[in-house]
Amino acid sequence: MLIKKPVDVRESEVTPQSWYVRRREFLQVAGSTAVAVAAGAAGPLFSGTSTVLAQNPAAQKLENLRKSALSTDEKLNSYRDVTTYNNFYEFGLDKGDPARYAGSLKPRPWSVVVEGQCGKPGNYNIEDIMKWFPLEERIYRMRCVEAWSMVIPWVGFPLADFVKRFEPTSKAKFVKFTTLVDTKQMPGQTEPALPWPYVEGLRMDEAMHPLTIMAVGLYGEVLPNQNGAPIRLVVPWKYGFKGIKSIVRVSFEESQPMNTWQRMRADEYGFYANVNPAVDHPRWSQASERRIGEFFKRRTLPFNGYADQVASLYAGMDLRRYY
Amino acid sequence: MTSTAAVRRIVKPVVFLAALGPFGWLVYNAFWGDLGVNPVETITNYTGIWTLRFIVITLAITPVRWLTGFNPLILFRRMTGLFAFFYGTLHFMTYFILDHSLVFAGVWDDVVKRPYITAGFTAFVLMIPLALTSTQGWIRRLGGRKWNLLHRLIYITAIGAVLHYFWKVKLDTTFPVYYGILVGVLFAARVWQRARKASPARVPVRANPGAPGL
Ligand code: HEM
């Protein structure tokens, strides 16, 4: 058939994760010494404690990453998968558009406004935010609402730690996140594809859950622009669209925020967006998914396989109604 | 006559090879190139859009013939129609094998539950009798009138195909709408031609014996 298998390339050193590239990349690698060095080095991704090796030679490395017991040991998707197949409509609707056009985004300097029902509102610099907490590597499954999935080695810190710093009051029941609006930096915003800015939200207990993180990197490097630089949300038991990117505003709210996709099409996308094989999208099935890199579909797991940790958050709720 | 013979002998093989081009592109990229991060999606979308393009090309042949008076165009209609079926089959098989592992119950489940698959499946299934009866033998066996009537199923296929595309996309309906407009224009041309034919002042276009009617 028309199918080509990914080629496994294992580094001979201690290699906690196997790293694979597609054949064309492999051939290119073989043909070019410079690239070969980079790809070879990509094998021992997190060997030891500090050296994290090149994915994108220009990117800043993130050092001294802690490992996490919450990480999955599933096979990682390649750096190319993670950084060239993105939904980030601020740069265009095609999945290749973010990688092509996100160069115009300037993730430094960057500040995040914190406001609403909290004791310490303010305007915080990204460089400072990244020093507040030890950075961890979190390898999570990511399930898109379009029925495909990846395994991604994020770098970040628990959202709970971030939230606690601002001393939310008892009135803070939800956290609302907002993406940058700037048509110069995000040319896709000149089109009214979505009502800009992109907005997402979590219930307070979801925000405080240990699985929920703010990511500032992936594959041991500073977050590439197309993946939501410099700071984004990752909630692994929810569909990918909950993972709002390039955040400029975090607000503690009394009432449930209206997230962008729900506003767009409330019958198709809800506030909760928990991965649920039993509740189909009105236009397609959510029972199975295609893991990028695989040819056949695999079954989708309730809460994306994180049910043991998170199902209790929704005890007694009708998940058909609160999709 | 000589121009028809030239078309048959030289232009037809060239067009045939050109129509195989998209298939060649897929095979080339599957083995020696690159089908992107999600190859299955690439194959599905690529074969899907080429199915639709060949449906539109097939529907365009008759109106373009009226417009230009270049009658040998009709010699290509069966070929483009069969290419639509060829790409449609690749498209359906990609879905049948890679999405449903050849289990038809899964396909049927989608057909009854998901409007975009209902539309696509209808479009595809209706192409099957057209492909089967595309031979001279079948035209003779059925007779021009019946054959003609049967082959009007292409209109339902075209509508189904556009709806399928329109309902499939998540947000950006620009291209489905373009294709919808194209199909609409090609339908309108037929209605218009019919109205003209009905008016007594006009000399009717001589029907082509091999491929009568619309
Ligand atoms: C005349 C018949 C058909 C035509 C013209 C057609 C055309 C198309 C087009 C244009 C697309 C979208 C391409 C894009 O978004 O770039 C598409 C997608 C798709 N088609 Fe069809 N199609 C037909 C029949 C079918 C049938 C019979 C099935 C299955 C029963 C099917 C299943 C699909 C699926 C699953 C997708 C979505 C792929 C994805 O989301 O990645 N199609 N088709």
Q: What pLDDT is attached to residue B212?
A: 42
Assigned token pair, A142? 């990511």
Assess contact for A279 and A273: CB atoms under 8 A. no
Please, what's the b/e burial string for B180-213 (b: 16 or more CB within 10 A of its CB; e: otherwise)? Answer: bebbeebeebeeebeeeeeeeeeeeeeebeebee
Nearest to B38 among A24, A85, A285 (CB): A85
Interchain CB contact of A148 with B (< 8 Å): yes
Confidence of residue A240 (pLDDT cuts 50, 70, 90): very high
- Ligand 1 lined by B161 (C-beta under 6 Å): yes
Mean pLDDT confidence for B20-43: 93
Burial B75-90 (b: 16+ CB within 10 A, else e): bbbbbbbbbbbbbbbb
> In chain A, where are the structural domains located?
11-314
| Residue for token pair 């037929």 | B190
Q: Which residue, by CA, sits nearest to atom 10 of ligand 1?
A: B49
Alpha helix ranges (H) inside chain A: 23-31, 33-41, 79-84, 97-101, 126-132, 159-165, 204-207, 260-264, 307-310
Q: Is the CB of B76 under 6 A from ligand 1?
A: no
Q: Is B109 in the pocket of ligand 1 (CB under 6 A)?
A: no
B40 CA distance to ligand 1 middle (Å): 12
Q: If you take atom 2 of ligand 1, which residue's CA is the nearest one?
A: B124
Q: Which residue of A has its CA nearest to B98?
A: A296
Query: Distance between CA A24 and CA A6 in Å, rounded?
Result: 10
Spatial separation of the C-alpha atoms in residues A275 and A258, rounded to whole Å = 19
Cβ B38–A290 below 8 Å, yes or no?
Answer: yes
pLDDT at residue A54 is higher than 50: no
Is the per-residue pLDDT at A44 higher than 70? no
Average pLDDT over residues A116-123: 96
User: What ligand 1 atom has the least distance to the C-alpha of B160?
Assistant: 1
CB atoms within 10 A of CB B4: 12
φ, ψ (nearest 5 deg) of residue A221: -130, 160
Q: Model-level pTM?
A: 0.82
The verdict on domain A11-314 having CATH code 2.40.50.1040 is no
Do A290 and B34 make contact, defined as CB atoms within 8 angstroms? no
Domain parsing of chain B, residue ranges: 3-197
- Model confidence over B144-156: pLDDT tens digits? 899 999 999 999 9
Nearest CA to ligand 1 atom 17: B48
- Angstroms from A227 CA to nearest CA on chain B: 15
Judged by CB atoms closer than 8 Å, whether chains meet at B114 and A284 is answered as yes
Q: What are A62-65's contacts with CB under 8 Å, separation 24+?
A: A62/A135, A62/A155, A62/A216, A62/A217, A62/A220, A62/A221, A62/A222, A64/A134, A64/A135, A65/A135, A65/A136, A65/A137, A65/A155, A65/A220
Whole-number percent of chain A with pLDDT over 70: 83
pLDDT value at A263 more than 70: yes
- For the residues of B64-113, what is the DSSP string, one character each? HHHHH--GGGGGGHHHHHHHHHHHHHHHHHHIIIIITTT-HHHHHHHHHH
Confidence of residue A251 (pLDDT cuts 50, 70, 90): very high
Instruction: Tell me what percent of the residues of chain B surpass a pLDDT of 90.
Output: 75
How sure is the predictor about A243, in pLDDT bands with cuts at 50, 70 and 90?
very high
Contact A93/B113, CB-based, under 8 Å?
no
Q: What is the pLDDT of residues B103-114, one digit of tens each?
A: 999 999 999 999
Between B101 and B204, name the one with better pLDDT.
B101
ipTM above 0.90, yes or no: no
Q: Which residues contact A300 (CB under 8 A, 6 or more apart)?
A: A143, A147, A149, A275, A277, A286, A287, A288, A289
Does A295 touch chain B if contact means CB atoms closer than 8 Å?
yes
Q: Which residue in this structure is represented by tokens 């014996």?
A: B209
The CA distance from B124 to the nearest CA of chain A, in Å, is 19
Nearest CA residue ID for atom 24, ligand 1: B120
